[in-house]
Amino acid sequence: MKYWLIKSEPFKYSWDQFEKDQSTFWDGVRNYQARNNLRQMSLGDLCLFYHSNEGKEVVGVAEVLKEWYQDPTTDNTNWCVVDVKPSIKLKRSISLAEIKADPELTDLGMLKQPRLSVVSITEAHFNHIIKLSNEQH
């Protein structure tokens, strides 16, 4: 199993809408590195769902339902999507400020490449963020 962080601007597609929809295809990726990350996703992989721009926080976990296929929103064959479904809403959202301040997350991919919308993360980073979300603050 691999782990990922996927970003969405909540005014375009929020966690709440994702939960209502129960699944979606992850579209709009127009960066080759992010596209390549989509192509590496496998059925059952887990993704931290991050609200970018507004909120700037990890809010939930999504699961990959279907591996990559042609993005149905464009005829350009360079772009692809994966299907994902909501798995769990975090007990407590983890803010970007908290991520940046945590010494165990200093090498998190999203901090090294902040503009990338689909980022590979380690199992240790994934588990640490889940652990943080379960702690009281």
**Residue whose structure tokens are 């809403």:** 89
Compute CA distances 53 → 3, 50, 77, 131, whole Å.
22, 10, 28, 24
Architecture of the domain delimited by 3-134: Roll (3.10)
Q: Which two tokens stand for residue 115?
A: 């503009």
- Which residues are within 8 A (CB) of 112 and not within 5 positions of it... i.e. 6 or more apart? none
Q: Could you report the per-residue pLDDT of 83-121, keeping only the tens digit for each?
A: 999 999 999 999 999 999 999 999 999 999 998 999 999
Per-residue pLDDT tens digits for 4-19: 999 999 999 999 999 9
Task: List the chain domain ranges.
Answer: 3-134
* pLDDT the model gives residue 137: 60
Tell me the pTM: 0.96
Rounded Cα distance between 43 and 37, Å, is 14
What is the spatial distance between Cα 80 and Cα 31, in angstroms, rounded to a whole number? 11
H-assigned helices in the chain: 15-21, 32-40, 96-101, 109-112, 123-134
> Both ends of the chain: CA-CA distance in Å?
30
